[in-house]
Amino acid sequence: MTSSPLTRRSALMIAGSLPLLAAGHAASAQDAAKQDAPRDGMTVQVPSIAPYRRMKLGAFTVTTLLAGTRPLESPQETFGMNATAEEFAAASKAAFIPEDKSLNFFTPTLIETGEEVILFDTGLSPEGITTALAAAGVAPDAVTTVVLTHMHGDHIGGLSTDTLPTFPNARYIAGQIEFDHWAAAGNEGFDTKVRPLSERMTLIGDGTEVTAGITAMLAPGHTPGHMVFLIESDGARLMLTADTANHFVWSLGYPDWEVRFDADKALAAQTRRKIFGMIAADRIPFIGYHMPFPGVGYVETAGDGFRFVPASYQLDV
Ligand SMILES: [Zn+2]
């Protein structure tokens, strides 16, 4: 425990010294204190965060789905491999986050176009994604299309249990370059999760339209065939950036900081600058798979990189 100079008592004293503009009657600070103190026989309700966030984009409904979180110790070893300890600590402090631990988010996105129900990535496990979908009121068999941005385990893990596909009615879409890379690599995750579905998979390239209004863009570096998707409906636009940036401060603010998960670190940095440069210039919202949930925001250029601006109600109005 640390003792803060701003205690509840001093907060009440400050509140008590301000003019109160309550409608109807002017409640005293004492009344307010009585009201929010727990009463005998009553438990204080702490709302838990729903694992989904539904938004509007033109005629499309876009829902981010929190399929899991994972704490990480010593994050510099993952997100700031070529930064000094001092640089990493200063960047963290400036953003009000600890430098010695972090929390990773795994956030697939569902897009309902009116005709198709399209899931982008599937989380670490079937349980994670189906739990989040259930909270959002979507049954796995309602998913018509599963799109894979790339084939790391935290994106393909929810595809199946043993040999049973999680989304029994879906067709699958993935990048040709990505598929070919992992098919040749002798990768257990690919062989278990992706290869059994390959008969039902359409392989695409840079510029391919998944469906009207959803266009794939090759964004390599994180993996050889990593893809992002531009979503457009009724003139509204949004980018699904997948793993182009893996942390909202360390990767966006410092695009050249090397990330352990990036296969080609120089190319990943170049792609980060290109994709987020476009998003900053066009001032369009983006959803990042590993951004803090609900994973939606904007970027502006700042210093040598970008500053993350979390979305508030822009996609609700
Ligand atoms: Zn990932």
pLDDT digits 0-9 by tens, 183-200: 999 999 999 999 999 999
Distances 288 to 85, 86, 91, 108 between C-alpha atoms, Å: 26, 27, 20, 9
pLDDT at 209: 98
Ligand 1 mean position to 154 CA, how many Å? 5
120-176 pLDDT, tens per residue?
999 999 999 999 999 999 999 999 999 999 999 999 999 999 889 999 999 999 999
**Which pTM does this prediction carry?**
0.87
Ligand 1 mean position to 155 CA, how many Å? 6
Ligand 1 mean position to 146 CA, how many Å? 16
pLDDT at 7: 54
Ligand 1 mean position to 261 CA, how many Å? 8
Ligand 1 mean position to 108 CA, how many Å? 10
Residue 44: DSSP 8-state = P
Q: Which of 116, 122, 114, 279 is nearest to 210 (CA)?
A: 116
pLDDT at 48: 66
Ligand 1 mean position to 149 CA, how many Å? 9
Ligand 1 mean position to 275 CA, how many Å? 17
Ligand 1 mean position to 283 CA, how many Å? 24
Ligand 1 mean position to 127 CA, how many Å? 17
Ligand 1 mean position to 34 CA, how many Å? 47
What is the C-alpha to C-alpha distance for residues 190 and 202, in angstroms, rounded to an integer? 16
Which residues 6+ apart lie within 8 Å of 9 measured at CB?
none
Ligand 1 mean position to 212 CA, how many Å? 26
Ligand 1 mean position to 218 CA, how many Å? 16
Ligand 1 mean position to 99 CA, how many Å? 21
Ligand 1 mean position to 188 CA, how many Å? 17
Counting every residue, how long is the chain?
317
Ligand 1 mean position to 248 CA, how many Å? 13
Q: Which helix (H) or strand (E) holds 126?
A: helix 126-135
What is the C-alpha to C-alpha distance for residues 288 and 311, in angstroms, rounded to an integer? 12
Ligand 1 mean position to 262 CA, how many Å? 10
Other beta carbons within 10 angstroms of residue 5's beta carbon come to 5
Residues with Cβ–ion distance below 5 A, ligand 1: 154, 243
SS3 218: strand
Ligand 1 mean position to 74 CA, how many Å? 18
Which residue in the block uniquely carries the two structure tokens 């209004």? Answer: 213
pLDDT tens per residue across all 317 residues of the chain: 444 555 554 444 444 444 333 333 333 444 433 444 444 444 555 556 899 999 999 999 999 999 999 999 999 999 999 999 999 999 999 999 999 999 999 999 999 999 999 999 999 999 999 999 999 999 999 999 999 999 999 999 999 998 899 999 999 999 999 999 999 999 999 999 999 999 999 999 999 999 999 999 999 999 999 999 999 999 999 999 999 999 999 999 999 999 999 999 999 999 999 999 999 999 999 999 999 999 999 999 999 999 999 999 999 99
Ligand 1 mean position to 4 CA, how many Å? 38
Which residues 6+ apart lie within 8 Å of 232 measured at CB?
58, 213, 214, 215
Ligand 1 mean position to 14 CA, how many Å? 45
Ligand 1 mean position to 140 CA, how many Å? 21
pLDDT at 15: 42
